């Protein structure tokens, strides 16, 4: 790919969108790439139906030879995780998820992962590292990535907050919901979680289905709009 492809996918220094509907496959939720120092990490994996496109995009954005070491999953739904197994195989990356969602990935639960909604099959997926605390910190090269438990849409939903020089980037997929019994959603948890997200004061929100929302006020407005 050409340098212009990299520029097109760049959100800010260190952060790219490498997949999503309109980029990799129609059913894909957004896939983001973080690069720093000599490593790269992914946030979510899409359905897997656009695997080749995702790989092409990742390889256009990372420096040659930079390993993709981690795949951080925001939650267990098919549109975010269906592609995880193939990406893990391709890049030999470790998969990270919250333990309360990991159990449905590891059993390949078609209902709770929403795979049945997509008429798809989500074969059991091994999660290499399970988050079990309210928050946890990871280092991606020189950048700190904070995983924060954000239950509601699913029991083990996570958001990830990335501090870059000049930006607080929130990877918050499916902030908009939906809430549904099949997904084991919990409305009370969801409202508490959204209020917590407002306090993070992010100035960029990388959402799963609504693109990139820029500016503290706009991010605040977007999250607030889902709080009844």
CB of 141 to Zn ion, least distance (A): 28
- Calpha distance 20→207 (Å, rounded): 10
Contacts of 40 (CB under 8 A, 6+ apart): 33, 34, 58, 62, 66, 67, 68, 69, 140
List the one residue out of 222, 213, 160, 210 whose CA is nearest residue 33. Answer: 160
For the CB of residue 166, give the shortest distance to Zn ion in the complex, in Å: 28
Using the minimum distance from each CB to Zn ion, give the nearer residue, 167 or 209.
209
Nearest residue (CB) to Zn ion, 84 versus 143: 84
DSSP per position, 131-151:
E-SSEEEEEETTEEEEEEE--
- How far apart are CB 47 and Zn ion at their closest, in Å? 10
How near is the Cβ of 78 to Zn ion at its closest, in Å? 9
> Residue 102 burial (CB < 10 Å; 0-12/13-18/19+)?
buried
- Output the residue with the shortest Cβ distance to Zn ion: 77
Chain residues that interact with Zn ion, rule: CB under 5 A? 29, 77, 79, 174, 208
CA distance 133 to 90: 29
Q: Which residues contact 22 (CB under 8 A, 6 or more apart)?
A: none
CB of 142 to Zn ion, least distance (A): 30
Nearer to Zn ion, 23 or 60 (CB): 23
Segment holding 39, helix H or strand E: strand 39-43
The smaller minimum CB distance to Zn ion, of residues 35 and 160, is found at 160
Q: Of 49 and 174, which CB lies nearer to Zn ion in the complex structure? A: 174
């Amino acid at each position: 790919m050409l340098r212009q492809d990299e520029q097109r996918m760049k959100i800010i220094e260190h952060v790219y969108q490498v997949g999503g509907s309109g980029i990799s496959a129609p059913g894909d939720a957004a896939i983001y790439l973080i690069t720093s120092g000599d490593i790269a990490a992914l946030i979510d994996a899409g359905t897997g139906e656009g695997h080749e496109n995702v790989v092409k995009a990742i390889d256009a954005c990372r420096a040659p030879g930079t390993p993709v070491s981690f795949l951080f999953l925001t939650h267990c739904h098919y549109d975010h995780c269906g592609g995880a197994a193939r990406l893990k195989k391709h890049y030999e990356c470790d998969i990270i998820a919250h333990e309360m969602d990991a159990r449905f990935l590891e059993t390949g639960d078609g209902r709770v992962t929403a795979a049945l909604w997509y008429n798809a099959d989500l074969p059991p997926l091994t999660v290499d590292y399970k988050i079990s605390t309210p928050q946890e910190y990871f280092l991606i090269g020189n950048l700190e990535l904070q995983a924060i438990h954000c239950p509601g849409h699913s029991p083990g939903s996570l958001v990830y907050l990335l501090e870059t020089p000049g930006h607080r980037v929130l990877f918050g997929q499916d902030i908009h919901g939906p809430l549904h019994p099949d997904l084991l959603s919990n409305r009370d948890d969801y409202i508490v979680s959204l209020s917590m997200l407002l306090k993070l004061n992010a100035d960029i929100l990388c959402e799963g289905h609504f693109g990139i929302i820029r500016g503290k006020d706009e991010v605040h407005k977007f999250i607030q709009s889902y709080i009844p």
